Each structure stands twice: as structure tokens, then as C-alpha cells.
Amino acid sequence: MNKLPIISADERLKEQKGIKGCILGKAGIGKTSLLWTLDPPTTLFLDMEAGDLAVEGWQGDTLRPRTWPECRDFAVFIGGANPALRPEQPYSQAHYEAVCERYGDPAQLAKYETIFIDSITVAGRLCFGWCRGQPQAVSEKNGKEDLRGAYGLHGQEMISWLTHLQHTRGKNVWFVGILDEKTDDFNRRFYTPQVEGSKTGLELPGIVDQVITMAEIRPSDGEPFRAFVCHTINAYGFPAKDRSGRLEVMEKPHLGELMAKIRAPHAERQLSYATPNNEGEIQ
């Protein structure tokens, strides 16, 4: 019987790790233009929005998937097979081998260090359009479209796709998405990723390592400026998360420099938590 391999601390620290993150922001804030801050020879641009006018002249390679099956094929091609899946399931060994037979040797992807996916919003639309044509989206009672079934399948498909790409070791994967501003029943403002269905938007922050909001910051004095908001606790209520522990609340909107900072070594840290004293003040 095969033994479960134990990875030592030294082995784990030597592993080449990729950063998995999501960059959210309102339309027109300049998310696609972040490609200019990445190294073109080692970056692959998944252009789902046909929005490359903002990066016309950028010298990197581009893929333009137009269907949801193409999106799944790319994920398994670059991420490899999931050995836990049955042959008929997407991302299985059988799926991987079929894709390699169509597209060639996956070694051709070795030169890419960063995958820039623009956008998760469009990926969600492609996925939902495909889901509406599946048997799960048809009512067994009357044969009519069942949107609840379509949305249920959509949530499963999107989470499987994101999770498979998240497990692509050795490569950085960045998902770009539009950030919607909404108000609740009490007229309180909140932000949510613009993607079909609620499941993907709710689970996305737990899948990736970094959640960054690219926003326009308007200080009380001085000119407005663009910045990456990187911490969960921030003054603007933007969605954000920094699993690396290396980023400030706000960072320069330069993706290349941000990744360099995340990878930078730092000394061992001790976690400390602020606690209130008897007067209720934080110590």
C-alpha cells in the first residue's frame, strides 16, 4: 500500500509557488492596463472581453476562448489532471489527455509564469449560457427551462474551474473582474463582484490567496489617485484580502511590483491580537 508522502518544511520552502489572486474594480479604472506592468514574454493573456484596445501594442501572447468548454480545456491544459476525478468528469486524466491530443505538448506553456484572465465576469456569462443548455436546466415535470437548475450547475462549474486554476502550482494566476456597488435594505453601501449567480462571488475570496480592489481614492485634501486596496479591514469597505501578510492597506497599482513584494522574504513573525483593557481601549 502506498504511503501518504509527508512534505518536510525544507521541501515546502523550496517549492516554487504561484500567486493566485483576483483584482476587482469598476469599469474603466484600468484593470486590463495592468498587463503593461507584467513581463510580456512570461505572461499569457486570456482575453475574454475582446478588450485589448487598452493594451494595443503589448507584446505578450494572447488566447481568446469564446465558449465555456474552451475555458475548461485551458484550465486542465495548464493545470494538469486532477487524479481524484472519474474519467467522465472535467479536469480528469481522460479530459487532460484529450486536450493534450488536440492542443499539443503542454510543455509549450512552461515559459509562462503569469496567467492574466480578463475577466471572471465574462467567464461567468459564458458558463451560464452553457449551463442553460444542459439537462439540469430543464424541468422534468413540464420540459421547460428551470433557471434554478441552471444556476445550481453554474455555481458548481465556476467553483470547479476556479479551484482547478488555483491549484496550478508554479504559476501566478490573476482573475480580473468588475466590482459592483450596491445598497442593502437599510441603504448601506456594499461591494460585490459582478458575476452571474451568487455562489461564485461569495466563494471567490476563499479560493484565491489575494483579493485586491483597484480603486480611485479621493483624499480630503489633494488630488484623487488610483491604488490597490489590499487589507480586509479598510476605510472604504472594499473587498480585499492579503494572505501573504506582506502588503500595506494601500499599494501602488503596479501588478509586477505587487507580486515582487508578496514574494519578498521577511523575518519570522509572531501573531499578536489587540485586546481591550478595562476601560475598553485597545492595547
pLDDT in tens, 54-74: 788 899 999 999 999 999 999
For residue 168, is it within any domain? yes
Instruction: Note the pLDDT tens digit of each residue in 207-250.
Output: 999 999 999 999 988 899 999 999 999 999 999 999 999 999 99
User: Quick one: CA dihedral 139, 143, 144, 145, positive or negative?
Assistant: positive
Q: Domain total for the chain?
A: 1
For residue 4, is it within any domain? no
For residue 3, is it within any domain? no
Domain extent, residue 189, equals: 14-263
For residue 174, is it within any domain? yes
For residue 275, is it within any domain? no
| Cα 260 to Cα 281: distance, rounded to the nearest angstrom | 37
For residue 140, is it within any domain? yes
For residue 106, is it within any domain? yes
Instruction: Note the pLDDT tens digit of each residue in 100-127.
Output: 999 999 999 999 999 999 989 999 999 9
Confidence at 20, pLDDT banded by 50, 70, 90: very high
Q: What is the pTM of this model?
A: 0.88
CB neighbourhood size of 158 (10 A): 26
CATH at 54? 3.40.50
Backbone angles phi, psi at 276, to 5 degrees: -75, 145
Instruction: Note the pLDDT tens digit of each residue in 74-103.
Output: 999 999 999 999 999 999 999 999 999 999
For residue 70, is it within any domain? yes
User: Radius of gyration (Cα) for the chain, nearest Å?
Assistant: 21
